[in-house]
Amino acid sequence: MSLLEASHLRKCYDGHPAVVDVSFSVAAGEIFGLLGPNGAGKSTTMLMVAGLLRPDAGTVLLDGMTPARGKAFRMSLGMVPQELAVYPELSARENLSFFAGLYRLGGGVRRTRVAEVLALTGLEPNADALVGTFSGGMKRRLNLGIALLHRPRLLILDEPTVGVDPQSRSHLLERVRALSGEGRAVIYASHYMEEVQAICDRVAIVDHGRVIACDTLATLLGRVPGELELVVAGAERRIADCLAGVARVEPTGDGAARVVVGSTGQNGSVDLTGPLARVLDALRACDAQLRSVEMRESNLERLFLELTGHRLRD
Amino acid sequence: MGMWQVVKKDLTVLGRDRRALAVLLVMPLVFIAILGLSTGKLLGWRNENETLRVALADESGTEASRALVEALEGRAGIDVARVASRDTATGLVEEGERTAAVVLGPEYEERVAALSLADAIEPERGKLAGGIASLGIEVHAKPSQTMARALVEQVVFGAAIRTILPRIARRDPVARVYLARVRPAEPAAATEPAAGRPATNPMASYGSEVYQVVVPGYTVMFSFFLINIMGRSFLSEQDLGTLRRLRLAPIGPSALLAGKTVPFLIISVLQGGLLFLFGRLLFGMSWGARPAMLLLVIASTSLAATSLGLLVATLVRSDAQVSAYANLLVITMAGISGCFMPRDWLPGAMRRASLATPHAWALMAYDQLLTRARPDVPRVLECCLMLAAFALGFFLLGAWRFRHAES
């Protein structure tokens, strides 16, 4: 059963649609990825899900509650905003203690949770240093830690790894996986497809305010199977003529050409012996030189390109 | 509970922001100290501004005129330089060496001799109705020194009456008999001032009046400078992303806004209190007949100022907007309401228009408490209520803006 149900969300700013029609659901313990380029409508969608923005149309239900339930809704939700939403004039402990207080954690419980989160984020040694002196990665970890203080059932992470060093990124991703293991639902919004691909169970690809694909990662990747490619050198025009009707030829721009022999199909189910032999014969016939043989893996970037005609970071 | 968390956090953040603290607490004190020094009120220290520097030409040269000159020389707050002629006296004024020139005309003795006891007792009715001119005395000062000129005229006239009165009394048969009965040993001493007795310093009281009027004006204006700091505090929360995080927390918008406002209210009350305390300790400023009520006015003014700050904070989107809106509001409202000059000097239409500003109500309350011997307490309470009404209006508008800011 879904913990979160977002149905037909729509939001316009000054008549310009930011989100046109977005629907998805997230189950407890699931990491749900929202993937899309900057300006696709991810942040607006998350603000509506968090109850910070009133949708022009559509509904949000978290554990059966609408955002109108106010405090009960907010107690079930944790959000890690894209900005480093921490106070640089306070120490890590003071930041955590302040937000813990806002979430009505008092006395001993507050101290315990703050200590837990400091340990969880690896900030114990710097707990009493002013956050203004922290590195970007440490601030990001604190940013995440604050959202975990009240143990929310749904955690929304908006581009949580922007500007983070590889070590902190790896730490953050591990934390997110662990949270999912504890039964928390996670919405992970990013334009870093590698991250989404690495940790998400299901992914919605958003572009121009619409969900253009939403499924499990395996199913989505299955829509763009791997391809066997040969990189060849020689007269590009001649190669293209020789391979017409046999294989697709893509110029590489450095005097070579990429010859796509064929799709490997789901789980490499397609036998490419025949097509490969035909391509090699044709290449021999036009005196092309084989430089390398490559497998182009299926990935979300290719899926996005296929679905939209443009790249994620265009 | 959430509100007090925000209060505590903001007080901590503010406490660590030395620049903001300097603007909020030290700057007004520095300003008021400068004001105190310029009116010569620091710990009884006297500067030149506290002394009327007068050049005096005695063209009469009679017993009566010499008595007046001696009386003026013995008076505190006036530095009399005797000069030979009218031209020398006025020349010293032109050169800026002296504030005013006093010329005792040649007919002074003659005019004094013509006075009756009734003229001296009721100077406004008889032969003295024309003031010093009736005695042939002239006072010259630069056009920019009208206030000083009026003071010198007043002092000279007072001294003249005091020296004239015993002379007339001795001439009057009824008064002579009376004086002989009540002061048999020293018949003249009853009415004639001792030559060296320090009388009240006229400039000292002038300085006090300035202080009593100007200090509240600047106190009110500085209260509203909080708008700047509050705007920047909200903007900083917005830029950091923490404002969104606060909105996400289980705390109502009103509690959140109150939490953001209370620290500034505390600082504002502290600021106002410190200004009056410093005024009292360093400059001998009077707290009026009902000092406890000053606290009420300080608190209500601060409430109105912080609520306006909150409203502005919910309207601005950038640092430039904070500076533009806040400074425009602070300076304009202060100017309209009479923070820069006594409200009595404002034209009637502007005085009426100023009632649309909280500043005006605060100034009226301070005026009652600081410059009236018997303050009109209901009037002060009415002013405080109006300030509270302004505060409520600003807060509600701010809360409405805050609720609709992101949706």
Q: Summarize pLDDT for A157-211 with one digit per residue, the tens.
A: 988 888 778 887 888 888 899 999 999 999 999 878 888 888 999 999 988 899 9
On whether any CB of chain B is under 8 Å from the CB of A129, the answer is no
Q: Determine the Cα–Cα distance for residues A311 and B2; give it in Å rounded to an integer.
A: 45
Pick the residue from chain A with its C-alpha nearest to B2.
Answer: A102
Q: What is the pLDDT of residue B58?
A: 92
Confidence category of residue A311, pLDDT binned at 50, 70, 90: low
- Do the chains contact at B250 and A101, CB–CB below 8 Å? no
Smallest Cβ–Cβ distance between B1 and the set A51, A54, A104 belongs to: A104
On whether any CB of chain B is under 8 Å from the CB of A89, the answer is yes
Looking up tokens 């955690």 gives A155
Residues of chain B with pLDDT under 70: 1, 36, 38-50, 179, 181-213, 406-407
pTM above 0.80, yes or no: no
Chain A residues in contact with B16 by the CB 8 A cut-off are 89
C-alpha distances (whole Å) from B151 to each of A73, A285, B119 are 72, 117, 22
Centroid of chain to Cα B14: 31
Name the range with the highest mean pLDDT among A113-122, A287-296, B180-189, B269-278: A113-122
Residue A97 has pLDDT above 90, yes or no: yes
Chain B residues in contact with A75 by the CB 8 A cut-off are 250
Torsion sign over Cα B350, B356, B358, B364: positive
Q: What is the pLDDT of residue B199?
A: 47
CA distance A71 to chain B (A): 5
- Taking only residues 16 to 75 of chain A, the set having a beta carbon closer than 8 angstroms to any beta carbon of chain B reads 47, 50-54, 70-72, 74-75
Pick the residue from chain A with its C-alpha nearest to B3.
Answer: A102
- Do the chains contact at B13 and A81, CB–CB below 8 Å? no
Q: What is the pLDDT of residue B284?
A: 75
Chain B residues in contact with A50 by the CB 8 A cut-off are 248
| Mean pLDDT in residue range A146-153 | 94
Q: What is the pLDDT of residue B40?
A: 58
Q: What is the pLDDT of residue B42?
A: 52
CA distance A203 to chain B (A): 25
CA distance B249 to chain A (A): 6
Q: Looking at residue B23, what DSSP letter applies?
A: I
Chain A residues in contact with B249 by the CB 8 A cut-off are 74, 99, 102-103
Smallest Cβ–Cβ distance between B407 and the set A54, A85, A98 belongs to: A54
Here the ipTM equals 0.80
On whether any CB of chain B is under 8 Å from the CB of A102, the answer is yes
Looking up tokens 């803006």 gives B401
CA distance A188 to chain B (A): 17
CA distance B308 to chain A (A): 25
Q: What is the pLDDT of residue B203?
A: 46
Q: What is the pLDDT of residue B383?
A: 95
Amino acid at B247: R
Q: CA dihedral in degrees (B260, B266, B269, B273; nearest 10)?
A: -150
Q: Which residue has the higher pLDDT, A11 or A305?
A: A11
Q: What is the pLDDT of residue B317?
A: 83
Q: What is the pLDDT of residue A241?
A: 83
Confidence category of residue A313, pLDDT binned at 50, 70, 90: low
